[in-house]
Chain A
Amino acid sequence: MSGSGDNAYLQTFKLFFWLIAITLGSFYLLSSVMLPIIISFTLYALLEPVMNTLVRRGMNRSLAIALLLVLMLTASMLAIGFALPPLFQQVALLKSKLPALFSQFEAFLTVYVERLGAQLGIDLNLSDILVNLLSQSTSLGNALLATLSASVAGITLSMILVPLLTYFILRDYKSLRNRLLGWLPNHRFELGWLIYHRVTRQLEAYTRGVMKQSAIMAVVASIGYWIVGLDIPLLLGALTGLLNLIPYIGPLISMVLAVLVAAAMTPFDPQLIYYAIGVVVMAQVVDNVIVIPSVIANAVDLHPVPVIVGILIFGNLFGAIGVILAIPALAAAKIIFNNLYQHAYNASRQG
């Protein structure tokens, strides 16, 4: 390989790592308003085609955006008005059942460990450890509920920020984007646009696919939980749909939640635990066999290992939002790296 070729590769790696550093830095700085930003961009993707149609029919741009936002706000208020009361009822029900749930689970596991010890003929003496573990999971459950409440507060803040952000994104995003990409040097201008084009196309396809997938999973799981007779089927189903955004780990968490709810039901019926697991497994089968192949046609092509590592790192750095952002961020990083590498390869061949 020639010296200039080496230089091209080195420059590419440098550029890539700078991009990663800048992106992570911006994520970190914006982490408190990440949720409204994500929601606003999602709304932008949904509303932009409608806005364009209105503008082409002669409507003033700002008026078209204002009209769309008013319509959207009215629709979401109505949706929240209908959907939130039953959801809150179910959250309250879950909260009231938590102590019973854990004590029942503790008793259940202690009996099983003693039985196992007797069968093996040795004193396992695991009950202390299990009780310890369970008390930890109780605090974990409370932490989960606290996070949920904090999310509700976050959502309220978002409801104020989102319309404002969406308005400005709808009005100025494209010209701002053109301006920013216009700062690229001449020799990277086309490459920059090409990468932007590929990344946004992939992210749009991913977002649309994942939204549909979540909704389908929520419906399938809710129906499943309702059929097997589990408490709070609507809330559990909605959580299963939402957790499905997190590959590999999400479905496991929803399974644990469903099992906890099944164990907390009175009278205690161990079979219900198997049914609850069955519903999550069945929902996963539906997801993998029907939904993913048909809905996420453009699914991001990533190896499971970087996906899991990415989710853990992003989750650790940015919390719940990070977990959801991990996949699109990894997919974008992969496209950017591949394109920069291809460019460096061409440059090195030309010497």
Chain B
Amino acid sequence: MPDTIWTNIFRTPRDNQAQIAELWQATPLFAGIPEREVRELAGNMHLRRFGEGEVVFREGDQAAGAILVFEGQVEILADTRRLALLERGDFFGEIALAENDQRTATARCREETRLVFFLKQDLEEWIEVAPRLGNRFLMNLASVLARRLHEANLLLARHCPE
């Protein structure tokens, strides 16, 4: 049994940490970031459990970070219309890593779900200790946001051609 006074009982259990790192590394956000580094970061991320139908955030809520689906399904809604259905390994809300702004849609769990929060605070702390890798991550984030913008533009052009 671990000694609760002297051992660090607050760490994310190692098997979860490895899985979280693996999932993040498969996303374009962590392209080119060494596995050891992602694993270290994953140790400080926040794994949380949500019930079926529970709202992760509502449109207009203040945003603190990006979220990865670790287990289960999350639907993204604008009013009552479903914009996307996200599953294990998908991430959303990454705009919050660039800007602590309000959420632009509502996210709701379709079933028992576990989500990993990568907060802007964690990102800033990481950038302070690993500026070069942090820079790489920010370039990745910029590409992801640019691609989302590009797709939004295409969608807009398709729906309003004039």
Residues of A within 8 A of B (CB): 49, 52-53, 56, 171-172, 174-176, 178-179, 182, 186-187, 189-191, 193-194, 196-197, 339, 342-343, 346, 349-350
Q: Residues of B within 8 Å of A, CB-based: how many?
A: 28
Separation of A343 and B58 alpha carbons in the complex (Å): 11
- Given A49-B128, A49-B129, A175-B8: A182 in contact with B46 (beta carbons within 8 A): yes
Report how many A-B pairs have Cβ atoms within 8 Å.
68
Interface centre among B48, B58, B64, B120 (most CB of A within 10 A): B64
Q: Indicate whether B97 reaches chain A with its CB closer than 8 angstroms.
A: no
| Contact of A193 with B10 in the complex, beta carbons under 8 Å | no
Interface membership of chain B positions 48-67, coded 1 if the CB is closer than 8 angstroms to chain A and 0 otherwise: 10100011111111111100
Q: Which residues of A contact B58 (CB under 8 A)?
A: 346, 350
- Given A178-B10, A179-B10: A189 in contact with B117 (beta carbons within 8 A): yes
Q: Which residues of B contact A52 (CB under 8 A)?
A: 128-129
Q: Which residues of A contact B117 (CB under 8 A)?
A: 189-190, 193
Q: Indicate whether B25 reaches chain A with its CB closer than 8 angstroms.
A: no
Q: Which residues of B contact A349 (CB under 8 A)?
A: 60
Q: Which residues of A contact B130 (CB under 8 A)?
A: 56
Secondary structure at the A interface, as helix, strand, loop or mixed, is helix
Q: Which residues of A contact B143 (CB under 8 A)?
A: none
- Given A56-B129, A186-B48, A193-B119: A350 in contact with B60 (beta carbons within 8 A): yes
| Contact of B44 with A178 in the complex, beta carbons under 8 Å | yes
A–B complex contacts, Cβ < 8 Å, 25 sampled: A49-B129, A56-B129, A175-B8, A176-B10, A178-B10, A178-B44, A179-B10, A186-B48, A186-B54, A189-B117, A190-B61, A190-B63, A190-B117, A190-B119, A193-B65, A193-B119, A194-B62, A194-B100, A196-B121, A197-B100, A197-B119, A339-B62, A343-B62, A346-B61, A350-B58
Q: Which residues of A contact B54 (CB under 8 A)?
A: 186
Chain B residue at smallest Cβ distance from A175? B10
- Given A56-B130, A186-B56, A343-B61: A193 in contact with B11 (beta carbons within 8 A): no
Chain A residue at smallest Cβ distance from B51? A186
Q: Which residues of A contact B11 (CB under 8 A)?
A: 175
Interface centre among A176, A187, A193, A342 (most CB of B within 10 A): A193
Chain B residue at smallest Cβ distance from A181? B46
Nearest Cβ distance between residue B49 and chain A, in whole angstroms?
8
| Contact of B62 with A197 in the complex, beta carbons under 8 Å | no
Q: Which residues of A contact B8 (CB under 8 A)?
A: 171-172, 175
Q: Which residues of A contact B62 (CB under 8 A)?
A: 190-191, 194, 339, 342-343, 346
| Contact of B60 with A187 in the complex, beta carbons under 8 Å | no
**A171-B8, A339-B62 known; 7 other A-B pairs, CB under 8 Å?**
A56-B130, A186-B50, A190-B63, A191-B61, A191-B62, A193-B64, A342-B62
